[in-house]
Amino acid sequence: MPGSAVRKIVIVGGGSAGWMAAASLSVLLGRRVEEIVLIESAEIGTVGVGEATLPTLRAFNGSLGIDEVEFIRRTQATFKLGIEFRGWNPARTFFHGFSDLGPDMRGVSPHQLWLKMRAAEDERSYADYSITTVAAGLGRFAPPIPNPGSVLGSYSYAFQFDASAYAAYLRAFAERRGVRRIEGRIVDVRLRPDDGFVDAVLLQGERSVGADLFIDCSGFAGLLIGRSLQAGFEDWSQWLPCDRAVAVACARRGEPTPFTSSTAREAGWQWRIPLQHRTGNGHVFCSSYTDEDEATRTLLESLDGEALAAPRLLKFTAGRRRESWKRNCVALGLASGFLEPLESTSIHLVETGIGRLIELFPDRGFEPKLADEYNRLMARSYESIRDFIILHYHASGRDGELWRYCRNMPIPESLRHQIELFKASGGVALLDRSSFAEPSWVSIYFGLGVLPRRHDPMGDLIADEALSREFQRRARIVRGAAESLPTHGAFIEKFCRAAT
Partner 1 sequence: MSESGQPSGRGLRSVIILGGGTAGWMAAAALARVLDGSQCAITLLESSLIGTVGVGEATIPSLPAFHALLGIEERSLLAATRATFKLGIQFRDWRAIGTTFLHPFGPYALDATHELFQAYWLKRKEEGQPSPLEEWSVTGLAARLGRFGVPPPNDSSALRHLSYAYHLDATLYASFLRTYAEKRGVRRIEGEAIGVTIDRTGRVESLRLRDGRSVGGDFFIDCSGFQALAIAKALQTDYIDWSHWLPCDRAIALQCESAGEPAPITQSTARPCGWQWRIPLQHRVGNGYVYSSAHLSDDEAGAALAASLEGAPRSDPRLLRFKAGRRDRVWVGNCLALGLAAGFLEPLESTGIHLVQTGLARLFAHFPDRDFDPVISAEYNRLTALEYERVRDFLILHYAASQREDSPFWRDCRAIHLPETLTYKRDLFAKTGRIVMLDGETFQPGSWLAIYTGLGVWPERHEPLVDIFAHAAAAAGLESVREIVRTAVGRLPAHAAYLKEVTRLA
Instruction: Please give the positions annotated as active site.
Output: 80
Binds partner 1 by CB under 8 A, chosen from 177, 297, 423, 479: 423
**CB contact burial 90-117 (16+ within 10 A = b; e otherwise):** eeeebbbbbbbbbeebeebbbbbbbbbb
For residues 456 and 426, is the Cβ–Cβ distance under 8 A? yes
Is 65 among the residues that bind partner 1 (CB under 8 A)?
no
Is 35 among the residues that bind partner 1 (CB under 8 A)?
no
Bridge partner list, 204:
none
Name the minimum Å distance from CB 4 to partner 1.
9
Binds partner 1 by CB under 8 A, chosen from 128, 292, 373, 470: 373
Nearer of residues 21 and 481 to partner 1, judged by Cβ: 21
For residues 155 and 173, is the Cβ–Cβ distance under 8 A? no
Name the minimum Å distance from CB 11 to partner 1.
18
**DSSP H stretches of helix in 10-162:** 16-28, 56-64, 68-75, 110-119, 131-138
Q: Total binding residues for partner 1 by CB under 8 A?
A: 44
Binds partner 1 by CB under 8 A, chosen from 424, 437, 476, 484: 424
Binds partner 1 by CB under 8 A, chosen from 34, 235, 291, 420: 420
Is 494 among the residues that bind partner 1 (CB under 8 A)?
no
Is 464 among the residues that bind partner 1 (CB under 8 A)?
yes
Label each residue of 174-243 as H, E or C. Answer: HHHCCCEEEECCEEEEEECCCCCCEEEEEECCCEEEECCEEEECCHHHCHHHHHHCCCCEEECCCCCCCC
Label each residue of 144-191 as H, E or C. Answer: CCCCCCCHHHCECCEEECCHHHHHHHHHHHHHHCCCEEEECCEEEEEE
Element (H, E) at 297: helix 292-301
Binds partner 1 by CB under 8 A, chosen from 59, 69, 119, 251: 119
Is 397 among the residues that bind partner 1 (CB under 8 A)?
no
Is 353 among the residues that bind partner 1 (CB under 8 A)?
no
* Angle at the Cα of 380 from the Cα atoms of 313 and 241, rounded to 5 degrees: 30
Is 29 among the residues that bind partner 1 (CB under 8 A)?
yes
Report, in this order, helix, strand and coil percent for the chain, each rounded to 5: 40, 20, 40
Name the minimum Å distance from CB 121 to partner 1.
8
Is 367 among the residues that bind partner 1 (CB under 8 A)?
yes
**78 to 117, contacts with partner 1 by CB under 8 A?**
107
Is 190 among the residues that bind partner 1 (CB under 8 A)?
no
Binds partner 1 by CB under 8 A, chosen from 156, 294, 297, 361: 361
Is 421 among the residues that bind partner 1 (CB under 8 A)?
yes
Report phi then psi at 159, rounded to 5. -125, 155
Give the list of residues 6+ apart from residue 310 with CB closer than 8 angstroms, or none.
248
Is 370 among the residues that bind partner 1 (CB under 8 A)?
yes
Nearer of residues 40 and 456 to partner 1, judged by Cβ: 456
Is 360 among the residues that bind partner 1 (CB under 8 A)?
yes
Q: Which stretch binds partner 1 (CB under 8 A): 16-24, 140-148, 154-162, 416-424?
A: 416-424
Q: Using CA atoms, how far apart are residues 252 and 279, in angstroms rounded to an integer?
A: 5
Contact footprint for partner 1 (CB under 8 A): 2-3, 5-6, 28-29, 31-32, 107, 119-120, 358-363, 365, 367, 369-370, 372-373, 417, 420-421, 423-425, 427, 429, 431, 453-454, 456-458, 460-466
